Amino acid sequence: MDMSTHNLAVVILAAGKGTRMRSSLPKVMHKVGGVPMLGAVQETSAQLGARTMVVVIGPEMEHVRAYAQKQQPGCAVVVQETQQGTGDAVKYALPALEGFSGTVMVLYGDTPLLELETLKRLQDVLEADAKNAVAVLGFTPEDPAEYGRLVQDDTGALKAIVEYKDADAATRQIRFCNSGVMAFKGDLLPELLAALKNNNAKGEYYLTDCVEHAIAKGYRCQVAESPEDEVLGINSRDQLAEAEALLQKRLRLRAMQNGATLISPETTFLSRDTKLGRDVVIHPFVVIGAGVTIEDEAEIKSYSHLENARVGRGASVGPFARLRPGADVGAEAKIGNFVEIKKATVKRGAKISHLTYIGDAEVGEEANIGAGTVTCNYDGYQKYKTVIGNGAFIGSNSSLVAPVTVGEGAIVGAGSTIRRDVPPHAIAHDQKGQIEKPEAARKFKEEKTKAS
């Protein structure tokens, strides 16, 4: 058993209002890769093995609390009443960390691209030596701008983090910067935080000052390095878009490495939780929202949109198909153009090839659903279910008024409105008989021609 993973707590700072987003939604609830940023950070923390998780939110962010606790049951959420700096924020997490002596990692809720391996490296650096008190994740940005600068000694150990506003010209020349991610020996954290003062340029309690205090107490501080694109913090909509683009690139690459063919990767949009099997083929211009699983050898053709859906082995979807939440497409099934499936199970080998709505339904194995079939599932108040048996055949342009069952092997004649159950192996249609008036068309046309 890897003990280190059982000794980790994560504190996620998310109290910032995110004014620059110009949004009524708290910043950390904006989505990247189909998942709110906070959820992404929580998920990575859980994968890292964090047993204790504390999210620090600001006042009037109660639905962030609800979201955080739904994502990770047992996650503590604390409110930082006034924002007096990153050090102040972590102080609010201390009661939830009472008695914890493992590693405490501090992450930001608005930095959603961090990878597991990078955080593991930081944890390893801290835990490598009993004399270490703090480890900081550094990076070398193209433009060091106003990031805190990491001051190292000859051995590479960290001497101090100097905030840009407090740095002299020489320190500002340093290009190695603080990403904001820091790891602490949990038993030292309370005393390091207690030592923080706010006599600095911003009048804040800087978490970064823990480094100096640790050194003063005789401990050592270390650095690990991160690629710049993993520590991108989101403050505005354009940074949100930048993060999305970076994440999409990463997700596409991962999908291909795992054996999916993306014919035009730059036009394939995936979610953080998209699961693609081997030999899945995705044609150009496909959007895959949250909660989608596509099994081996399935094919998704152009201009299809999928969310919260499963596509079974060898099935074919699209072009121009829409799989809405609860669509469960069985192996070898075919969903063709302009077909919408919602909360419905389509079993093995069924064919729904054109222009159809299937909602709140079950479609049996090898059933064939003709063009223009509609399950009439809603009466304006409630939803009702349609069940189509194995091997049933629904003629084109039929309306199935739910609740209704078409039995196994039954045939529904084209253009029918089916309001009652159809027994297995029966033929049902609602035709009133075809009316024919001999020669009427010719007379009609003659009259029209005379009149003009």
Residues that bind ligand UD1 (CB under 6 A): 13-16, 56, 80, 83-86, 88-89, 108-110, 147-148, 161, 163, 177-180, 206-208, 233
Query: Comparing C-alpha atoms, which of 425, 361, 358, 417 is closest to residue 391?
Result: 425
Q: How far apart are CA 373 and CA 16, in angstroms?
A: 50
Judge whether 50 and 12 are in contact, CB under 8 Å: no
Q: Is 26 helix (H, G, I), strand (E, B) or coil?
A: coil
For residue 148, the tally of other CB atoms under 10 A from its CB is 26
Comparing CB distances to ligand UD1, the nearer of 184 and 285 is: 184
Could you tell me where the beta strands, DSSP code E, fall in 94-236? 103-108, 132-139, 149-152, 158-162, 177-185, 220-225
Q: How far is the CB of 120 from ligand UD1 (least distance, A)?
A: 20
Ramachandran assignment for 425, one of left (phi > 0), alpha (psi -120 to 50 degrees), beta (any other): left
Query: Comparing C-alpha atoms, which of 336, 338, 297, 339 is closest to residue 317?
Result: 336
Q: How far apart are CA 383 and CA 360, in angstroms?
A: 7
Helix (H) or strand (E) holding 341: strand 334-346
179: exposed, middle or buried (C-beta count within 10 Å: 0-12, 13-18, 19+)?
Answer: buried
Q: How far apart are CA 41 and CA 10, in angstroms?
A: 10
Comparing CB distances to ligand UD1, the nearer of 15 and 114 is: 15
Q: How far is the CB of 57 from ligand UD1 (least distance, A)?
A: 8
Active-site hit among 6, 30, 305, 354: 354
Q: In the chain, count of helices (H) and strands (E)?
A: 9, 34
Q: How far apart are CA 12 and CA 77, in angstroms?
A: 9
Q: Cis peptide before 144, with omega less than 30 degrees from 0?
A: no
Q: How far is the CB of 235 from ligand UD1 (least distance, A)?
A: 8
63 flagged as catalytic: no
Q: How far apart are CA 257 and CA 41, in angstroms?
A: 23
Residue keyed to tokens 């407090």: 166
Q: How far apart are CA 206 and CA 86, in angstroms?
A: 6
- Catalytic machinery residues: 354
